[in-house]
Amino acid sequence: MSGADDGEQAMIKIGILGCAGRMGRALLAEVDGSSRALLSGGTVRPGASPLVHTADGRSFADSIDEDAAALFARSDVLIDFTSPKASLDHLALACSHEKPLVLGTTGFTADQQADIDDAARTIPILQAANFSLGISLLSSLVRQAARALGPEFDAEILEMHHRHKVDAPSGTALALGRAVAMGRGVDLDEMSEKLRDGQIGPRVPGRIGFATLRGGDVVGEHQVIFAGMGERLVLSHLASDRQIFARGAVHAALWLATRWQEDQTPGLFDMADVLGL
């Protein structure tokens, strides 16, 4: 067998679930340009055209259709940035085909997240609200700051996204909130404060606050503010190019597929695992 054939066999076949969306198109471009991956295809919504155009002018139609089961069958790993309902359908297919799944969908309910946690006992799932390297490092810094400063410093999380985003707070904001809660050793669900309106009274000590902004074409901006008496610590991340998320997701897919091929161990992973943080 030739060296070229060896190299081709070693490449990871990546399928994109929901490839006609904004992130889906970015993922198509990223996989197509990767030296370590092969595009095994993608899915579109029923009745949608299989012809998908990326921002840089490339067109994709081959192996793009409505058949998610067929895509699972011919892929080594799949990436999903769709909707909670669609992702749960894809999760069932991932389990039945025993294929690794990179999950970037946000907005899951507690019951839906429990289904994801349960599936991770069968297959490897890499779930992240944000796939950028900077956000992964920010989460680590936030956890350290929360642990060092304690509840004496009020924690507020501010996020802004484009006008089309449908969930709030963003999945990344919630992940940063979990980093604060983890640093303090508390439960985010018990300590979060997401709505403020009218005569709400003074701030409750120890609460983790969230503020949401929407408008224009903002890719993603996040700030974690630790406000003390006489000083504030502000940790922030600004994303100006959506391709950073696609790049991180493909990197995660390659890591997850390689890990599965080597030891067949299921589990629920995140970007900290990929980056060794």
Domain check: are 104 and 141 in the same one? no
In degrees, rounded to 5, the angle at the alpha carbon of residue 31 between the alpha carbons of residues 27 and 264 is 100
Known binding-site residues equal 18-23, 45, 104-106, 128-131, 162, 171-172
**CATH code where residue 211 lies:** 3.30.360.10
Domain check: are 120 and 207 in the same one? no
Domains held by the chain: number: 2
Known binding-site residues for (S)-2,3,4,5-tetrahydrodipicolinate equal 162, 171-172
Domain check: are 20 and 53 in the same one? yes
| pLDDT value at residue 107 | 86
The DSSP annotation for 173-198 comes to HHHHHHHHHHHHT--HHHHEE----S
Report the alpha-carbon distance of residue 255 to residue 73 in Å, rounded: 19
Specify the DSSP element, H or E, that contains 63. Answer: none
Contact 45, 68 (CB under 8 A): no
With the C-alpha atoms ordered 119, 125, 131, 136, is the resulting torsion angle positive or negative? positive
Report the alpha-carbon distance of residue 236 to residue 224 in Å, rounded: 6
Known binding-site residues for NADP(+) equal 45
Domain check: are 33 and 118 in the same one? yes
Domain check: are 70 and 160 in the same one? no
Domain check: are 175 and 106 in the same one? no
Instruction: Count Cα atoms within 13 angstroms, Cβ side, for 179.
Output: 27
Contact 71, 95 (CB under 8 A): no
- Residue 161 is among the residues annotated as catalytic for this protein: yes
Domain check: are 107 and 7 in the same one? yes
Longest distance between any two alpha carbons in the chain, whole Å: 74
| pLDDT value at residue 88 | 97
Domain check: are 179 and 250 in the same one? no
| Domain range enclosing 223 | 133-239
Domain check: are 89 and 112 in the same one? yes
pTM above threshold 0.95: no
Q: How many residues does the chain have?
A: 277
Domain check: are 218 and 257 in the same one? no
**CA of 252: how far to CAs of 96, 157, 174, in Å?**
22, 26, 20
| pLDDT value at residue 229 | 97
Domain check: are 233 and 246 in the same one? no
- Residue 194 is among the residues annotated as catalytic for this protein: no
User: Tens digit of pLDDT per residue, the chain (277 long)?
Assistant: 334 444 445 799 999 999 988 889 999 999 998 999 999 999 998 888 878 887 777 888 788 989 999 999 999 999 999 999 999 999 999 999 999 999 999 889 999 999 999 999 999 999 998 899 899 899 999 999 999 999 999 999 999 999 999 889 998 999 999 999 999 999 999 999 998 989 999 999 999 999 999 999 999 999 999 999 999 999 999 999 888 999 999 999 999 999 999 999 999 999 989 988 7
Among residues 13, 97, 165, 194, the one annotated as catalytic is: 165
- Residue in 117, 124, 118, 122 with CA at minimum distance from that of residue 101: 124
Among residues 90, 161, 237, 251, the one annotated as catalytic is: 161
- Residue in 143, 212, 147 with CA at minimum distance from that of residue 173: 212
**CATH code where residue 264 lies:** 3.40.50.720
Domain check: are 35 and 161 in the same one? no
φ, ψ dihedrals at 256, nearest 5° = -70, -45
Contact 76, 14 (CB under 8 A): yes
